[in-house]
Structure 1
């Protein structure tokens, strides 16, 4: 009996994650810079890495131009492009190391309620990138939220 294969193009997929302890894009950038420097000092790749207990079931789609969108102070404010997924261990248990570009890209601030772990984010729901002097990444979170509420972005 002949086999028929249906081509299904990859649909890019993203993750959203709370950046616990971050006050702003700048504070997240500072922390990630120190983390990446620590890795390179040890001879490891210059990636920002997030280790999670669960290996994403839809990992292949995340590797097709996916990003982690960071929620800071109730807003998705920036993202790191995902460059790889590696199996690792954490506290003696199987885990997933999400390897990201160390480049943080500001996005249109988008409100998000608190949640635990990470959530998938479809491309059509992902905030658009902000570039140049209009990125507003250095603004205090309260002012960014007011601008979002006013429809400035």
Structure 2
């Protein structure tokens, strides 16, 4: 097994996240995945979010995002207020990624949040994602709000 590196995503990763199988399937909005990832990266450039990727010699293995502030028109200060509340979202790993990649991504994103003065870290999960909810609880997150989709 090769060594796994966690780093900030760069523009070249938009195509690679799709090609390497980290993101795929239908998007909630129906837009292509590459376009969606490019939006994430433009929000990273604007300072509203960070996108981390996990990578080894085989390619990209996973990704996670830390949202500090939502774009204009999507404000939700309980989830991310740009000051001391931030949100973890879009945690994804490739099907064949080594064990522990998701845990390392979460550990790194929590450390970054702490260094940036985030006091409350929320985690976005889809309703009915019982496996994801159980996993998030194992990392110490608590359910605080359930919203219809």
TM-score, length-normalised on structure 1?
0.25
Comparing both structures, which one devotes a greater share of its residues to helix? 2
Specify the structure having the higher radius of gyration (Cα).
Answer: 1
Higher strand share: 1
